[in-house]
Amino acid sequence: MISSTHPAGDSYDATRSVARGPRLLAVGGGKGGVGKTFVTANLAAALARAGKRVVVVDVDLEGANLHTCLGVASPQKTLADFVAEREDDLGKLLIDTPLANLKLIAATHGNLADAQPSHLRRVRLLRGLRQLDADFVLLDLGAGAHASVLDYFLVSDDGILVVQPEPTSVENTYTFLRAAFYRRMRLAMVGHGVRQLVTVAMDQRNERGIKSPLDLLREIEATDTAEAHRFVETMRVFRPRLIVNAVRTAEDVKLGFAVASVCRKYFGIETEYLGYVNYDDEARRSVSMRRPIVDLRSDADVSIYLQRIARKLMELSPAQASVQGPAPTHTPAPTPPPAPAPLAPGISRG
């Protein structure tokens, strides 16, 4: 099911789309307005320009605007049709975008009352996404740490968090990570008692004094070694990716490393810093021009950063095992040397 070594690059994607369907990427970040949609649209465009067949899906049912970023005017067929069970074939919802290789499944601000799919519908949606004929499927998640948002994040091969260098965004990133992590763990645990324990631990002020995943592991080890083993295995494949958006200074660039370090030491969670995107007025203009900046001006600084992140994604093997799949027994392949080194153009030095 999950092989232990992946050849990087094209051949890998080719085997993948035949064997397992597309690679599923979820872009979230807890807070609204941190540039999730902007990043999603541009990563998708960058991947498409690199010759990958890409589908972007707007699962932000309450704040849908991915179609606008991609220059698709008010779509006729949307995900709402699938949610409301008017359409069962996701393939029929695919809309062409102005970019070659890039298709969209849009969402619209329809009737909010029936916007949230039922659990069963969500499962079918995820299954449908895996069957799409593409190399990459990117999900643009809504804001918040709502259960449905977390599930999209958790079942994806790569969960990507967009963070902005500001306290509110950092706070929501940790909130999201915590919520996602504990939800993942609750799904991974088998015994009722241990699941209860995970639920208790989710509350930061729980009476058992469990403050971190590590504390929780200690508690589990004391009761059930098999569960503890599962916990450690699950923890190892839980590898969220991080993108820092709207970077203005060198200090901002370092935020990604700092957050990764805090996650590692405090939560025991390994995160991968994919890279950063600088703050750019031109990027804002690209939104009003309804075209991804990487397509509009591929040589702009922002575009260079975004393309670099896209390249890195293509090189990396998927981070997370799917929730439904069996717990993989391999250690994730050591990741290639890390994020963006040189302070590239457009970032001031402080």
Partner 1 sequence: MRGIDELDHYEMLEVPRGASPGEIDRAYRMAQETWAEGSLALYSIFEKRDASEIRARLDEAYRVLADPELRASYDQSHRATEPLAIGPTPTATIAPAAPDAAAAGRAINGAARTLPSIDESARVARAAEAAVTRVFEEDTERYDGRDDDAGGEYDGPRLRRTRLFRGYEIDQIADVTKVSGSHLRNIEDENFADLPADVYVRGFVTAYARTIGLDPVLVVPSYMTRLQESRQKNSRSRFLGLR
Establish if 72 lies at the interface with partner 1 (CB under 8 A).
no
Give the whole-angstrom CA distance, residue 185 versus residue 189. 6
Alpha helices in the chain (DSSP H): 10-19, 36-49, 66-69, 79-83, 119-130, 147-155, 167-188, 192-202, 213-223, 225-237, 250-262, 281-288, 293-296, 301-315
Residue 22 token pair: 């597309």
Establish if 167 lies at the interface with partner 1 (CB under 8 A).
yes
Establish if 15 lies at the interface with partner 1 (CB under 8 A).
no
Residues 21-60 that bind partner 1 (CB under 8 A): 30-31
Q: Residues 243, 275: contact at Cβ < 8 Å?
A: yes
SS (H, E, C) 104-145: EECCCCCCHHHCCCCHHHHHHHHHHHHCCCCCEEEEECCCCC
Selected range binding partner 1 among 2-10, 45-53, 161-169, 307-315, rule: CB under 8 A:
161-169
Look at residues 160, 165, 169 and name the one whose alpha carbon lies nearest to residue 140: 160
Give the whole-angstrom CA distance, residue 216 versus residue 201. 7
Residue nearer to partner 1 on the CB measure, 99 or 188: 188
Look at residues 192, 237, 221, 244 and name the one whose alpha carbon lies nearest to residue 332: 237
Establish if 343 lies at the interface with partner 1 (CB under 8 A).
yes
Q: Which residues of 208-234 are buried (b: 16+ CB within 10 A; e: fewer)?
A: eebebbeebbebbeeebeebbebbebb
Residue nearer to partner 1 on the CB measure, 41 or 216: 216
Selected range binding partner 1 among 9-17, 42-50, 97-105, 339-347, rule: CB under 8 A:
339-347
Residue 173 token pair: 């990133």
Establish if 315 lies at the interface with partner 1 (CB under 8 A).
no
Q: What is the smallest separation between the CB atom of 305 and partner 1, expressed in angstroms?
A: 14
Selected range binding partner 1 among 35-43, 268-276, 309-317, 318-326, rule: CB under 8 A:
268-276
Establish if 114 lies at the interface with partner 1 (CB under 8 A).
no
Answer for which of 72, 121, 335, 346 binds partner 1 (CB under 8 A) is 335
Q: For partner 1, what does the binding mask look like between residues 185 and 224, x meaning CB under 8 A? A: --------------xx-xx-xxx-----xx--x-------
Residues 246-265 that bind partner 1 (CB under 8 A): 249-251, 253-255, 257-262, 264-265
Which residues of the chain form contacts with partner 1 (CB under 8 A)? 30-31, 143-147, 150, 165-168, 170-172, 174-176, 178-179, 182-183, 199-200, 202-203, 205-207, 213-214, 217, 229, 232-233, 235-236, 249-251, 253-255, 257-262, 264-266, 268, 270, 273, 331-332, 334-335, 337-343, 349-350
